[in-house]
Amino acid sequence: MIDQIDDPRFGKAVRIVDDGAGIADPRSLFSLGHSGWSKTLTQSEDAAGMGFFALANRGAVLVAQQKGTAESWRIEATPDAFHGKQPIDVAPGPAGHAGVTIVFPETDHDHLAGAVPGAAKFFPLPVIFNGQEMQRVDFLAEAEHVEEWRGVRIGVFQRDSLYKDIANANFHGVTLRMPLPTLSQHWHRNYWAGIDVVDCAHLKLVLPARKEVVRNDMFEALVEEIQRVYFRLVSAHDAHSLSFEDYRRGRALGIDLKEAEPQLAPFAPSCADSDRFGLHAPLPVSPDALLYAGEGPLEEQNVARAFARTQESLPMFEPHDAFAGYGWYDGLRRITLRSYRMHTASNYQKIEPFDVFEGQGRPDILEVDVNVSDGKSACGWLLPTDLIVAGPDYGALDEVDIRVTHQSEITPHELETFLTDALFCPSDDVDAGSYEQQQQWFGDEAEDVCIRLLQSESDADLNAIIRTVRRELVWRMPKKGSFLIHIEDGEVSIGGLPPASNTDAATPA
């Protein structure tokens, strides 16, 4: 029981009443690390710490039952007594006093109204504050699964973004963050654990702060048992997506786990703008599936376009290295890019992915050369395509080589979209302009390049003029009527505008 009282000695004070068995020797109160408890209880509760010395700078009055008798002690300890500068006053206390009562001065910084409910929330015994019993909550009330092991309750939660920031252990009302294991899956649910210590003699906290667990054999055994709980829960479900390392760990701990479900994310070429990265739901993987991870967005866009033009629909998936070791995953074929090839009427060229072709003009044939291997054998595939953009990843438009076959039906807008996906990577430099500005500048340049390549130089110039007029001039013109912009020898004139009215020309007095 805790009360805020007016004390004749201290004035505004705090009184704590414990209805236990009292103490056997008052000297134990003034011995750091000694509680006066029995050996069994001391081991169970790990009580050693600052104890009564937390009041050293305040002083306190204590009335304690002499353990096993009807007598009591009255102990007055001033701050100087705590620090050894004067004797501690120990005198007989009132007969029949039960348990221990401590009174000490309250300061303006204590904020008991908030501190007591917080301390009592997960305390295993009832706490009464100023006559009102404090609410107590099961520390593992929100756990989805709870097991008890060696005096410790283990609760399992579905892991979320907050799990790193909250206390996950309760030692008789003292909550702290412990380095407990978690378990992640790629497609399925993740797990984290909390523990509630009930009666565990060998799980201890580092003294005197008691905010860190002692990493002894008991703690290591607890970590292992939490992992077993996770793997038992995983095994109870029909499918999982554990990494192969976690799968082996679970089986080594004696849990009968099946291999991870053969599912992977379908392949989608990455974009140079990393903010456009998207997550894709997993799909079942068949034995004839292909795995492909390119060296960068430019390569992936080229290869994806080539595969999309094949007559046979080939299942392609993103690799997931954590699955390496599963039989179904290790048997899948892997794709690697070897080279780009270009044929013209009089020339044939083969280049590395980051090189550029020699010469100018549109080729007759373009091919993407890939290697396909299942780890035991390999073969080369030549994939015909209508477009290859060669050069450095994240390069500027004037640093790459854009080749489109004569037979291609790609439109300038489609080619511009391809270039944006493969090359546009905004800079975060303060002098580079806003994201929208950089996007517009790249789009304008790409539009000019695409029209120039697929149509003509004059078409590109005309489109640039029309784009500028629409963006900069049209919104300034009246909504109705027709107007003629005439440019001659650098001079600009506009015909067709209605004359200014008297009202428009008038100047306020």
DSSP assignment of 73-122: EEEEE-HHHHTTSS--EEEE--TT--SEEEEEE--TT--HHHHHHHHHTT
Q: How many CB atoms lie within 10 A of CB 140?
A: 20
Least confident window among 77-91, 129-143, 353-367: 77-91
> Which CATH code for domain 2-106?
3.30.565.10
At 45 the pLDDT is 44
Widest CA span in the chain: 116
Q: Give the separation between CA 137 and CA 115, rounded to whole angstroms.
A: 16
Between residues 253 and 433, the one the model is more confident about: 253
- Please say if the pLDDT value at position 400 is more than 80: yes
What sections of 180-271 are H helices per DSSP? 217-235, 244-252
Instruction: Summarize the confidence of residues 232-238 as an average pLDDT.
Output: 92
The answer to whether the CB of 400 falls within 8 A of the CB of 249 is: no
User: 198-218, pLDDT tens digit by residue?
Assistant: 988 788 888 777 788 889 999
Residues 502-506 have a mean pLDDT of: 51
Give the pLDDT confidence score for residue 364 in this predicted structure.
96
User: What is the pLDDT confidence band of residue 258, given thresholds at 50, 70 and 90?
Assistant: very high
pLDDT at 450 over 80: yes
> What pLDDT digit, counting tens, does each position of 11-48 carry?
898 999 988 888 887 777 766 444 444 555 444 444 44
What count of Cα atoms within 13 Å lies in the side-chain half-sphere of residue 248?
8
Q: Are 260 and 240 in contact (CB under 8 A)?
A: yes
**What pLDDT sits at residue 501?**
61
Would you state the torsion angle of the CA atoms of residues 205, 211, 212, 218, taken in this order, to the nearest 10 degrees?
30
**Could you tell me what percent of the chain has a pLDDT over 90?**
53
Q: Which of 145-159, 370-384, 441-455, 475-489 has the lowest mean pLDDT?
A: 475-489
All structural domains of the chain with their residue ranges: 2-106, 145-252, 274-467
Tell me the per-residue pLDDT of 277-286, one tens digit each, with 9 for 90 and over. 777 899 999 9
Bigger pLDDT: 471 vs 503: 471
Is the pLDDT reported for residue 154 higher than 70? yes
From the list 48, 33, 236, 211, the residue with the least C-alpha distance to 147 is 236
Contacts by 140-147, CB closer than 8 A, 24 or more apart: 140/194, 140/196, 143/194, 145/229, 145/233, 147/229
Residue 422: which pLDDT band, with cuts at 50, 70 and 90?
very high
Rounded Cα distance between 383 and 338, Å, is: 12
pTM for the model stands at 0.76
